[in-house]
């Protein structure tokens, strides 16, 4: 079920109403059933995959807690990780690896006998797999007690607001909340609805509008000129931010109305002045996951210079691969790894340069230049993220540097009409205006904000129930 | 409740007022907008008006003021003959001082195509519109303000198009493309068209419905016009015989005339694509059509 669909408009109030009408002891049942229903709306049979990993990790958690022998504990953890990664590999990476084997075999005039599998990627697989893994790892480390209540554990994995596109929650933040007796609170309800409205605004007013322009240019770069290619790549940066952070806001809001707190997943990432800061603001639940479960166990920055760089590259390559089984995602990850290492290597020189040019005397300007640089670098990397293939990415980059800056209106508007282009800039302006609001969206005049936001959604929203980009991961 | 009720009333009131002004000042002041055309055919009677019905080939090919003094172009993009017949039915109910009705006829025959649903929301409470929408009818089409969710921009865009004429020239419901595609892109379309086969196919129900309307409205004169196609269109056109047979059937009616401009030789620069002419092409086509209409006395 999509958050931006009519079905959800009915589903959400019904579930919320039932939640507060039911006694506390039955609420987990309601939420679990509702979450199953929510997930099965996409492709019902894939709930079996989810059930498989839930059962494995539930027992893995208990075995890990009960087992005093370190070696055996390690084996249980390994079994759980293999089961989770195994499911992910089969559904997400099998065809990618197989296609690469086929390509390699063709180079030697050989035929790959392994068949290509025509199955769909279960929606949100990477999200709930990582959430499940964080549970067993935390139990293994002794930071979290194994959950004995199967229903509550299943709900931790399946809680519908964050099931298909995160935030990837840690057990320490979520499980205890399911035991807490949630009371209806007017403040929670209004705050939650505000978050949902703001998220929906980002999705249907901004992301879906910008997607029209972006899709047109990326599907047919040959028709674009340098101007429209530049607009499209910048628009995609904003589109993906609004699409994904919009989803996170709706998820947080839907949970908040019922009294649950999900973690903040985005913190105005394009205001970052360094790439490292960008990653502390973008998809925070995933970047902290990689930090805690991959980067630090690899040795982090304390293992010597070269190992540090190696660790960074590994983390970003895996992050790229997490997003999708395609070389374009790997390039995207590698680019970010390169940016971070380059920033480390040049930090001294950049500081000297700032002092020499006296730009550091104007901290605001200096910060703005850095923010702009980060935006340009991130936007360039997004080209690989958005393009369906390396060749398409190359074509878009080619257009950027082609030097065709003609004012042809049809090309400039990417064949979608000048009004669409004007409205695209207008809604970006609205997004910028919304940055005056507090990050947590706790407002003095919250009802007024809610009314205005719903008004804007109805007037400027794009009808059509477009999927969220991150659903495919 | 203390908060929700006032909130509900404030929202509904503001929505209702916005809805009222949007319909009155934007939709109903945009003659090229489909919703305006649907509303006009249902609610207004213009006794002297000669209507032009059809698809986007009508909307983008017939210039009312070039054809006569009191014509209006009701052509709707993305529609086919089920919608044209709906318009025809509404028209034939009216008491008019002119018998003429112009119908654009497309060479792929009479099929179904309802076009953008936004054309009908303004009049969604009309039972005939509800029937036309069928399974696509939604309950919220009756709720002011919310009913246009996701479509405000479309109406506003047409409103601006009508006034600014940035890329299109508008005239009494007609919306004619000023520009042409770059030659390379047009050539791509031509190659694609040459490699695509298309056939004439009349849906029997629609055909019977049309013939029935013509039979029962002998006081009206039906002028069928086939607007120009690019020559490449005919290379993939497989069954011209049944098309000609059907046109002959139409010609056999005393109250019908057929003007076939499908093969009118026009330069590439006069086309928007292989099935639609642009303003430049429309000027020539309408000039010739005007002569034909003049000969009939229908100008």
List of domains in chain B: 4-296 (3.40.50.1110)
| Mean pLDDT across B56-85 | 95
Distance in angstroms (rounded) separating the CA atoms of residues A132 and A135: 5
Q: Are residues B167 and A418, on separate chains, in Cβ contact within 8 Å?
A: yes
For residue A23, the model assigns a pLDDT of 93
Distance in angstroms (rounded) separating the CA atoms of residues B299 and B291: 9
pLDDT interval class at A431 (50, 70, 90):
very high
| Mean pLDDT across A305-309 | 92
Which of the 8 DSSP states describes residue B114?
A: B
Apex A332 CA angle, A225 and A135, nearest 5: 140
Q: Are residues B153 and A423, on separate chains, in Cβ contact within 8 Å?
A: yes
Residues of B in contact with A204 (CB under 8 A): 150
CB A20 within 8 A of CB A44: no
Q: Are residues B14 and A451, on separate chains, in Cβ contact within 8 Å?
A: yes
Q: What is the pLDDT of residues A151-176, one digit of tens each?
A: 999 999 999 999 888 799 999 999 99
Measuring CA to CA, which residue among A19, A285, A3 is closest to residue A128? Answer: A285
Residue B222's beta-bridge partner residues? B101, B256
Which of the 8 DSSP states describes residue A90?
A: I
Q: What is the pLDDT of residues B177-218, one digit of tens each?
A: 988 888 888 898 999 888 888 889 999 999 999 999 999 999
pLDDT interval class at A222 (50, 70, 90):
confident
Count CA atoms within 13 Å of residue A125 on its CB side. 26
pLDDT interval class at A406 (50, 70, 90):
confident
Dihedral (CA of A110, A113, A118, A120) sign: negative
Identify which has the larger pLDDT, A428 or B7: A428
CB A73 within 8 A of CB A66: no
For the question of residue A445 being annotated catalytic, the response is no
For residue A464, the model assigns a pLDDT of 65
Distance in angstroms (rounded) separating the CA atoms of residues B106 and B108: 6
Residues of A in contact with B14 (CB under 8 A): 451, 455
Q: Are residues A463 and B146, on separate chains, in Cβ contact within 8 Å?
A: no
Distance in angstroms (rounded) separating the CA atoms of residues A263 and A252: 8
For residue B1, the model assigns a pLDDT of 63
For residue A317, the model assigns a pLDDT of 95
pLDDT interval class at B225 (50, 70, 90):
very high
Mean pLDDT of chain B: 92
Distance in angstroms (rounded) separating the CA atoms of residues A84 and A88: 6
The Cα-based distances of B140 to A49, A220, B145 in angstroms read: 37, 36, 10
- Specify the long-range contacts of residues A294-299, CB closer than 8 Å, at least 24 apart: A294/A318
CB A405 within 8 A of CB A223: no
3-state secondary structure A340-407: HHHHHHHHHHHHHHHHHCCHHHCHHHHHHHHHHHHHHHHHHHHHHHHCCCHHHHHHHHHHHCCCCCCC
CB B130 within 8 A of CB A437: no
Identify which has the larger pLDDT, A379 or B162: A379
Three-state secondary-structure class, residue B140: helix
Tokens 């002119």 correspond to: B98
- Residue A409 confidence (pLDDT) above 80: no
Three-state secondary-structure class, residue A119: coil
Residue A419 near chain B (CB below 8 Å): yes
Which of the 8 DSSP states describes residue A303?
A: S
Q: What is the pLDDT of residues B250-289, one digit of tens each?
A: 999 999 999 999 999 999 999 999 999 999 999 999 999 9
Burial call A142-164: b when 16+ CB within 10 Å, e when fewer = eebebbeeeebbbbbbbbbbbbb
pLDDT interval class at A113 (50, 70, 90):
confident
Catalytic residue, chosen from A283, A323, A391, A407, is: A323
Within 150-189 of A, beta carbons closer than 8 Å to B belong to 186
For residue A471, the model assigns a pLDDT of 63
Q: Are residues B11 and A423, on separate chains, in Cβ contact within 8 Å?
A: no
pLDDT interval class at A467 (50, 70, 90):
low
pLDDT interval class at A303 (50, 70, 90):
confident
Q: Are residues A459 and B152, on separate chains, in Cβ contact within 8 Å?
A: yes
Residues 6+ apart with CB under 8 A from B155: B22, B26, B27, B30, B33, B35, B118, B148
| Out of A118-127, A371-380, B136-145, least confident range | A118-127
| Mean pLDDT across A216-240 | 92
Q: What is the pLDDT of residues A232-242, one digit of tens each?
A: 999 999 999 99
For residue A109, the model assigns a pLDDT of 84
> What is the phi-psi region of residue B173: left when phi exceeds 0, alpha when psi lies from -120 to 50, beta otherwise?
left
Find the chain B residues whose C-beta atoms sit closer than 8 A to any C-beta of A: 3, 7, 10-11, 14-15, 18, 145-146, 148-153, 156-157, 160, 166-167, 179, 185
Distance in angstroms (rounded) separating the CA atoms of residues A290 and A315: 7
Nearest to A464 among B11, B146, B150 (CB): B150
CB atoms within 10 A of CB B292: 16
Residues of B in contact with A461 (CB under 8 A): 149-150
Distance in angstroms (rounded) separating the CA atoms of residues A76 and A83: 11
CB B141 within 8 A of CB A6: no
Residues of A in contact with B166 (CB under 8 A): 409, 418
Distance in angstroms (rounded) separating the CA atoms of residues A167 and B51: 58
CB B54 within 8 A of CB B104: yes
Enter the pTM of the model. 0.85
Distance in angstroms (rounded) separating the CA atoms of residues A85 and A100: 20
């Amino acid at each position: 079920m999509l958050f931006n669909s009519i079905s959800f408009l009915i589903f959400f109030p019904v579930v919320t109403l039932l939640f507060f009408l039911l006694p506390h002891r039955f609420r987990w049942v309601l939420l679990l059933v509702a979450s199953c229903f929510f997930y099965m709306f996409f492709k019902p049979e894939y709930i079996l995959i989810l059930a498989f990993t839930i059962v494995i990790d539930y027992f893995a958690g208990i075995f890990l807690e009960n087992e005093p022998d370190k070696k055996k504990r390690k084996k249980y953890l390994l079994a759980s990780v293999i089961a989770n990664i195994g499911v992910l590999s089969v559904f997400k990476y099998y065809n990618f690896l197989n296609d690469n084997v086929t390509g390699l075999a063709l180079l030697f005039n050989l035929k790959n006998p392994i068949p290509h599998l025509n199955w769909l990627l279960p929606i949100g697989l990477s999200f709930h797999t990582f959430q499940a893994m964080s549970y067993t790892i935390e139990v293994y480390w002794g930071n979290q007690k194994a959950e004995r209540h199967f229903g509550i554990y299943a709900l931790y994995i399946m809680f519908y607001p964050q099931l298909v596109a995160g935030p990837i929650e840690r057990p320490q933040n979520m499980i205890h909340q399911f035991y807490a007796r949630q009371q209806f609170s007017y403040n929670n309800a209004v705050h939650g609805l505000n978050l949902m409205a703001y998220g929906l605004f980002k999705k249907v007013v901004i992301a879906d509008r910008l997607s029209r322009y972006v899709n047109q240019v990326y599907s047919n770069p040959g028709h674009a000129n340098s101007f429209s290619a530049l607009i499209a790549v910048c628009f995609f940066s904003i589109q993906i931010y609004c699409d994904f952070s919009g989803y996170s806001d709706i998820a947080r809001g839907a949970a908040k109305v019922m009294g649950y707190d999900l973690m903040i997943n985005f913190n105005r990432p394009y205001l970052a002045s360094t790439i490292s800061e960008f990653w502390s603001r973008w998809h925070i639940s995933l970047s902290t996951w990689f930090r805690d479960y991959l980067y630090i166990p690899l040795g982090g920055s304390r293992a010597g210079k070269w190992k540090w760089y190696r660790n960074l590259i590994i983390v970003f390559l895996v992050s790229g691969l997490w997003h999708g089984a395609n070389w374009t995602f790997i390039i995207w990850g590698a680019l970010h790894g390169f940016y971070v290492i380059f920033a480390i290597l040049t930090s001294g020189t950049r500081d000297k340069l700032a002092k020499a040019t006296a730009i550091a005397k104007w901290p605001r300007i200096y910060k703005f230049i850095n923010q702009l640089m980060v935006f340009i670098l991130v936007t360039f990397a997004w080209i690989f993220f958005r393009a369906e293939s390396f060749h398409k990415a190359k074509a878009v980059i080619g257009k950027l540097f082609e030097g065709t800056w003609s004012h042809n209106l049809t090309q400039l508007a990417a064949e979608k009409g000048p009004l669409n282009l004007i409205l695209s800039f207008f809604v970006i302006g609205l997004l910028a205006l919304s940055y005056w609001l507090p990050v947590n969206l706790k407002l003095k005049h919250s009802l007024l904000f809610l009314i205005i936001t719903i008004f804007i959604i109805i007037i400027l929203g794009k009808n059509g129930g477009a999927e969220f980009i991150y659903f495919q991961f | 409740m203390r908060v929700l009720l006032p909130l509900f009333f404030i929202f509904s009131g503001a929505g209702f007022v916005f809805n009222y002004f949007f319909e009155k000042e934007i939709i109903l002041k945009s003659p090229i907008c489909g919703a305006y055309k649907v509303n006009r055919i249902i609610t207004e009677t213009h006794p002297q008006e000669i209507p032009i019905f059809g698809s986007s080939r009508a909307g983008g090919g017939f210039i009312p003021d070039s054809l006569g003094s009191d014509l209006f172009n009701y052509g709707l993009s993305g529609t086919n003959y089920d919608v044209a017949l709906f318009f025809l039915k509404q028209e034939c109910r009216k008491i008019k001082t002119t018998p003429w009705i112009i119908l654009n006829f497309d060479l792929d025959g009479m099929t179904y195509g309802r076009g953008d649903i936004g054309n009908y929301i303004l009049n969604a409470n009309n039972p005939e519109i509800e029937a036309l929408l069928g399974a696509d009818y939604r309950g919220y089409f009756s709720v002011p303000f919310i009913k246009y969710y996701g479509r405000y921009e479309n109406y506003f865009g047409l409103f601006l198009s009508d006034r600014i004429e940035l890329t299109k020239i508008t005239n009494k419901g007609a919306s004619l493309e000023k520009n042409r595609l770059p030659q390379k892109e047009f050539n791509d379309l031509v190659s694609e068209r040459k490699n695509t086969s298309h056939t004439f196919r009349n849906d029997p129900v629609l055909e019977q419905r049309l013939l029935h309307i013509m039979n029962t409205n002998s006081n009206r004169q039906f002028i069928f016009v086939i607007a120009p196609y690019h020559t490449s269109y005919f290379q993939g056109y497989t069954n011209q015989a049944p098309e000609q047979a059907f046109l002959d059937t139409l010609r056999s009616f005393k109250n019908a005339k057929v003007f076939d401009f499908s093969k009118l030789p026009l330069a590439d620069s006069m086309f928007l694509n292989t099935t639609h002419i642009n303003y430049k092409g429309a000027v020539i086509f309408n000039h010739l059509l005007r002569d034909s209409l003049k000969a009939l006395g229908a100008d």
